[in-house]
Amino acid sequence: MIEFLTIPGVILIVGAFLLPFLPEKIRSSVFLLFPLASLYVVITTANGYSFGIDFAAYQLQLIEVDRLSRVFGIIFSITAFVAGIYAHHIKDLGQQVNALVYAGSALGVTFAGDLLTLIVFWELMAVSSTWLIWARRTKESDGAGMRYLIYHVLGGGILLGGIIWHYADTGSLAVETIAQNYTFANVLMLVGVCINAAVIPLHTWLADAYPKATITGAVFMSAFTTKSAVYVLIRVFPGWELLIWFGAAMAIYGVVYAVICKDIREILAYHIISQVGFMVCGIGIGTEMALNGATAHAYSHILYKSLLFMGTGAVLYATGTSKIVELGGLFKKMPYTFGLYMVGALSISGIPLFNGYISKSMTISAAGYAHVEAAQLMLLLASVGTFLSVGLKLPWFTWFHKDESDIEVKKLPVNMYIAMSIAAFACIFYGLFPNALYVYLPFDTDYDPFTIYHFVETMQISAMTLAGFWLMKKKLAGELIIALDVDWFYRKAAPATRLVFVNWVDNFFDRVEERVIGTARFLTEKFKNPMTWLNPFTDRSNKADGYSPAMDVVMSFVMLTFIIISILYFL
């Protein structure tokens, strides 16, 4: 039994079961112990360790540790810990329990040695994270949470369908690399995973739900769902060429929408899509360097994106709004939040000495070495957009732009500052010492990001992005709007969908029911007393329910014959 506790995901889920029994005062503090425990287990478990059980006719590998799963396990545990500190002031038991289950199931996916274990944790992740949206308890979050849940249940179903088909084809449930081959089974699995990775056009759940999640919930969500899907893509679908172009396209798609968006958390949500695009592109390239780059970028991304969500969450917490048009001039009131946010912003923009630089340059270089130059230029274009929105537009319109904000600013809990500081420290630490991350990457590497070429490339691009922003910043402000996205098809189409799949089906069943009952009524009326129409010599208006001796005799004979035949048959 004790082996179950060597599974990092299980540690967190057991923790979630224990939390409700603890007094409210110590609950948020005890919360932090479980990610620490799982971090300890992840680091100390040797490569190649595995533990399985027999379930029905299957051998389930609940945990399998190798370099790839370890690096994801480390960052998932760290983020759960940091986000736990950020949420330390929260008393809502539902959020705490679900955050732990959510982090635990993301870890479960990471270490799953077979596809059945993986799909169980996969679905658990969808259900528990939905709670973090609903916990905001607004009308918008209710709707968004439901759409999110339906989307992920659909994605999970597609993935499960693919897994079953894959098992039927190959007889293997192992989570292992599948060579590029677009069979039905593989495509179903790929689409299921791509839904969680928010690959366009399957990304709308993310931009819809994340800005509406709770302040602390969004920090957890920014880390787990998409990155666990990236992990599965790295493990199962490396080198699938289609991913190069979908990745590069979503990198650009995200930044363009981020320019349109006027809500600071929505901007960040679209930038998750964009950043995951870098990783997906790297996975599509599929060389060792590209897979290292995708892994490193996932690691860095989790750190700086959680920091960014913490920073904007702090603004939302303090001011009560996340609309660009209502913010501005907050610098004097929230200088520390600004400083910490900027660490994340410079990291995501890939500025040297911050952690985005060490992973983004690796991914882009991998595209260069593989001579996929079109993809390389697309990713560079996306980097421009990243710096433009997250590094310039968002902070400018939040902390500067106006002289002084007249918004009443609520004091932030200390734990928020602590959490942001830890994440900011990590961003700078890895930016200065990239090898601290590189040694954990799935393949050995001697990559050095600190070359003059990369420095010149990054700094020229960033400087001129700043110039572009500065000249055109007036174009970037504006009222909060809804930017239509692919979700239009299912949100606006809801009435039509209801008409086709609910009303029409209902009508059809109604009609059929009517016909069936009508026929039954007709037949019973006619056959209750067949004498009325069998015997032409009787009175036509023979009462149907009246007693008829002749009929009685006939029926008795029928009955007797039936009984005799039955007895003969059974003898």
Give the span between the Cα atoms of 19 and 522, in whole angstroms. Answer: 64
Residue with smaller CB distance to other proteins, 22 or 466: 466
- For other proteins, the closer CB: 62 or 351: 351
CB of 187 to other proteins, least distance (A): 29
Binding stretches for other proteins (CB under 8 A)? 255-257, 259-260, 368, 373, 376-377, 380-381, 384-385, 388, 400, 452-453, 455-457, 459-470, 472, 475-476, 479-485, 491-492
| 263 in Cβ contact with 397 (< 8 Å) | no
For 472, the token pair is: 């055109």
Q: By C-beta, is 123 or 266 nearer to other proteins? A: 266
**Cβ neighbours around 178 below 10 Å, total:** 18
Long-range contacts of 258-263 (CB under 8 A, 24+ apart): 258/385, 258/389, 258/390, 259/385, 259/388, 259/389, 259/393, 259/476, 260/481, 260/483, 261/483, 262/323, 262/324, 262/325, 262/477, 262/478, 262/479, 262/480, 262/481, 263/211, 263/322, 263/323, 263/324, 263/480
Q: Which is nearer to other proteins, 11 or 375 (CB)?
A: 375
Give the CA dihedral 151, 155, 156, 159, nearest 10 degrees.
180
Beta carbon nearer to other proteins, 110 or 361: 361
Q: How far does Cα 173 stand from its chain's mean position? A: 23
Q: Cβ of residue 400: shortest distance to other proteins, in angstroms?
A: 8
User: CB of 267: closest distance to other proteins in angstroms?
Assistant: 12
Beta carbon nearer to other proteins, 478 or 546 = 478
Q: What are phi and psi of 559, to 5 degrees?
A: -60, -45
Smallest distance from the beta carbon of 473 to other proteins, in angstroms? 9
Look up residue 241 and give its two tokens.
């060429």
CB of 448 to other proteins, least distance (A): 15
241 versus 373: smaller Cβ distance to other proteins: 373
Q: Which is nearer to other proteins, 158 or 342 (CB)?
A: 342
Count CA atoms closer than 13 A to 559's CA, side-chain side.
6
User: Which residue's structure tokens are 């769902």?
Assistant: 225
In angstroms, the CA 363 to CA 401 distance is: 34
Torsion sign, CA atoms 177, 179, 180, 186: negative
Q: How many residues does the chain have?
A: 571
Please give the structure tokens belonging to residue 88.
């330390």
288-319 and 335-348 are packed helices; what angle lies between their axes, rounded to 10 degrees?
Answer: 160
Q: Dihedral of the CA atoms 303, 323, 252, 446 (nearest 10)?
A: -20
The CA–CA distances, whole Å, from 152 to 173, 184, 207, 270 equal 22, 20, 14, 18
Least spacing, CB of residue 319 vs other proteins, in Å: 19
Of residues 259 and 407, the one with the C-beta less far from other proteins = 259
Q: What is the SS3 assignment for 58?
A: strand
Least Å distance, CB 208 to other proteins, is 10
Place of tokens 């949420």: 87
Q: How far is the CB of 466 from other proteins (least distance, A)?
A: 6
Quick one: 373 or 510, whose CB is closer to other proteins?
373
Smallest gap from residue 492 Cβ to other proteins (A): 8
- What's 328's DSSP letter? -
Nearer to other proteins, 179 or 471 (CB): 471
Q: How far is the CB of 467 from other proteins (least distance, A)?
A: 5
Task: Please report how close the Cβ of residue 221 comes to other proteins at its closest, in angstroms.
Answer: 21
Largest CA distance in the chain: 113
CB of 211 to other proteins, least distance (A): 13
- Closer Cβ to other proteins, 66 or 457, answer by number: 457
Report whether 9 contacts 65 (CB < 8 A): no
